[in-house]
Structure 1
Amino acid sequence: MRFDKLDLNLLVALEALIDESSVSGAAKRLHLTQPTVSASLNRLRDYFDDELLIKSGRKMILSPKAIELDAPVRTALALIRREITNPKTFDPTQSKREFLIVASDYSFNILLGDLIKTCERQAPRITFTIIPPSKRAIARFQRGEVDLILTVSPYKIEGHPELALLQDEDAVICCAQGAFRSGISRQQFLNAGHVVAQFGEERSPATMEMHLAELGLPRKIEVRLPSFSMLPQAVTGTDRVATMHHRQAEHFAQWLPINIHPLPIEVPLIEEIAQWHHTKDSDLAVQWLVNQVSELAKQQTSFSQST
């Protein structure tokens, strides 16, 4: 499709080039070859009479014109995606939609693992790509590329719809044969060697770490890992302890020799929420996905309360 002599498909390429500041990065994101994206860049340069991407040392940087085009290109593409290309009906049994979801391993263990099992039966053609939280993932959400993000309320993204899913509490895990197998006091907790999870290249802390920092309670952190799922195995065979959400601790206690104890420090409950980009309010597929996750969360809550 052309508008005022501009092939509108080039706007998609321009969006990726602006985001990635790289032909190879844009090609990977668009699932195209580098020569194809290079050709698109050349056509964009001709149309706008501007280099758009400028070589600076070993990197490419955006020209002032590219920076100027960033916001209007996103606005135009968001409008097209929302009002024109979104189907007016959605049949999960026939849809070939690929959902992009940002979620931690906690969200996968507690909710998304069951979601993909359910969808194999109820929506067999739908596919999922699940990526971990990071600054890059949040940037993709802000651009409207992500269909759903599962996070905790302190990390919610302002300006976008949200739905409360479930609550959880932090718990201490330790080796079932270790020094704290029978329980752990506040002072023992603070003196013990700790294994902690930090996320993304920026090593964002878990919410419990944020609360302890606010309380001014230092600990001896001996091991840092990139996910909650690694914590149980990291404490087995040691006298170290770790803190993780209780539901996930129960999940791993089914097959790993760990004991679960109440956290001996008072911190707020964890609230797991779902968020979607405000431009996807009318996306029937995304709303179906939100409903599926919400129903699974209700089942999870009911199961927890009955045990």
Structure 2
Amino acid sequence: MQTYPIFRDRIALAILSFLFIPFTLLAQSDVLVERNVTLMGSQFQITIVAKDSSTANQHIDLTIAEIERIENLISEWRPYTQVSEVNRNAGIKPVKVDKELFDLTHRALEYSKISNGAFDISTAAMDKVWKFDGSMTEKPSEEIIQKSIEKVGYEHIILDSVQSTIFLAKEGMKIGFGSIGKGYAADKGRELMQTLGIKSGIVNASGDIATWGKQPNGKPWRIGINNPFSKKSIAKILKLKNSAVATSGSYEKYVEIDGKRYAHIINPKTGYPSTGLTSVTIYGPSAEFANALSTSIMVLGEKEGKKLAKKYPKYNFLFITDKGKIIKK
């Protein structure tokens, strides 16, 4: 059986695990149960290996509950969340938040610093002046582009660790965790399952994937990185045990103007879409950090992106350029 869950931008990753394993083998050992569910506005696929299907399904339920808990903490779309409260009070006052949200925000600011601002959770306030629905035929004016990022800037996110508060210094600022929230949810789902004694599984948060343990046949999980320039080929097959993988890309969401390809991932500092790379896959211990790196590198481009990635030896990368060149570590 070969499954292809829905991923961010519908590119890059395909779970190739559990290929041609006879049912008799499953019956003699553990069972694998998969469930697809909509969470955080996206498709998730949760896979649990357990001694029986009832146990597996019970733990899938617990994983879903954990992800829903996280969404109720970090969503900027639900008005009752702490993130929404922080956004409503931008330019007005600091807002006290749970330690979990404070720590996630603190890490997000660290990602901004290491990427020299290529990663920025305050892009939630960016005006959507670039259109990727086929309607755009020319670039917005420089004035419009600069105005679109007026309320963006991680430097204006003020944290107070003593009071556990977040303050957005500019009126109209917003923060959002669309860039790392699903990776964080995948990591937390895996962490919960490991704590509860589930020895193997996958939390696939719409392309941000956290794995642990092995398939029932004892082999590693197999994750295929698709080549967006060749639908019939896979750029690389990852064999993962306790690991994570995330991909950022522009295979289906981009615009071409005057022969140049502009991705839907916007540079927070300039307001211009990223160019040069069609997809960036990062794999290593954490889905959250892998996602932060992949997003940053799409903005930084090949040369600066490689410099950043190489600072973290526990993580590997695969870049595919706009011209189809594959670069691996």
- Fold match, TM over 0.5? no
Larger fraction in helix: 1
TM-score (norm 1): 0.24
TM-score (norm 2): 0.23
Larger fraction in strand: 2
